[in-house]
Amino acid sequence: MGEKMAANLRFPLSDRDPTWIEAIRLVLAQAGKPMHYSEIAQEIEAQGIRHRVGETPVATVSALLSGAVGKANSDFLKLSRPRGFYALKEFPLEWIEDAENVCSNAGALKAFGLGWKRQLIDWDVGLLGNPVLKSEPVDVSDDRGIVILYRKDKPRLAGRAPTSILTKLKELSENKYSDRWDEFSWFSVGSGAPGTLGEEALLQTIHAILACSDPRLGPSSPVLRNLEVHQLTRG
């Protein structure tokens, strides 16, 4: 389906780059599915669709899509979930609904990191990581959630981080558990004001954390995999 859509796109025969909007539309048509704006920017660069992409192509694509979605003649739709995903209006409705429904499996879980090294934490800088979707690095220091401590790959303690994940890890580095862990995994519900979960959302959140918590199992949902953040190494 994606190849058929892409085959219908034609650019004028000239030396000019296609516009950003033309390039975005081409990438989505080739994929034949909703994509995150950072993935779209990466494909534009990787395929050489535009020779001039500037210093911040991800930010450019994000801004253009945000501005285009509200226009009457726009080709694009923004998915309600997952965050940052866009589709072409010509995509079958069931494709878009499928992408949004899969995200509901995450409940309140916003992001997670597995097997982060304690020795790589820069306590003055924070908890920096690279999202799977390869957007800009993120800092989850102020996020709330749950942490699991490990020593030699074995779980030693699970703890709540009601104020922030970084605060909880500092506490666990200074109390009686200080010598009991060398790695940790974290599960974030975000840094905004605490909310109230209904029973269904609570069950989805618990299931998502359990599905993501063991690297040997790995999350089965593509959207859950896309929530993972890899630790940013120093140097």
Phi and psi at 157, nearest 5°, equal: -160, 140
91: Cβ–Cβ under 8 A, 6 or more apart, which residues?
32, 33, 34, 77
Continuous segment of H or E residues that includes residue 22: helix 20-31
pLDDT at 97: 61
Give the predicted TM-score (pTM) of the model: 0.56
Count of other CB atoms within 10 angstroms of residue 103: 20
Per-residue pLDDT 10s for the chain (235 aa) are 444 444 444 444 446 788 999 999 999 998 877 888 888 988 898 888 998 888 899 899 999 998 998 787 888 988 776 667 888 888 777 666 655 555 556 777 888 999 999 999 989 889 999 887 666 788 999 999 999 999 988 899 999 999 999 999 999 999 988 999 999 999 998 876 666 666 767 777 887 888 788 755 555 566 677 788 999 876 5
Q: How many residues does the chain have?
A: 235
User: First CA to last CA across the chain, in angstroms?
Assistant: 44
Q: What gap in Å lies between CA 141 and CA 96, rounded to an integer?
A: 33
Residues forming a β-bridge with 35: 86
Instruction: Give the strand pairing for 85-88 and 35-36.
Output: antiparallel
Q: Which residue has the tokens 């069931």?
A: 94
pLDDT at 9: 47
pLDDT at 14: 47
* Amino acid identity for residue 224 in this structure: L
Q: Which residue has the tokens 């390869």?
A: 134
Report how far apart, in Å, the C-alpha atoms of 72 and of each of 15, 25, 45, 68, 218 are.
30, 16, 28, 9, 41
Q: What gap in Å lies between CA 92 and CA 196, rounded to an integer?
A: 34
In this structure, are residues 86 and 65 in contact, taking their beta carbons and an 8 Å threshold?
Answer: yes
Q: What gap in Å lies between CA 49 and CA 183, rounded to an integer?
A: 42
The distance of Cα 23 from the centroid of its chain, to the nearest Å, equals: 22
pLDDT at 42: 86
Q: Which residue has the tokens 């820069």?
A: 122
DSSP states of 97-141 as a string?
HHHHHHHGGGTT--EEEEEEEGGG-BTTTB-EEEETT--S-EE-T
pLDDT at 13: 40
Q: What gap in Å lies between CA 41 and CA 53, rounded to an integer?
A: 9
Please report, for the chain, the start and end positions of each structural domain, with discontinuous segments joined by +.
2-101, 107-231
pLDDT at 158: 93
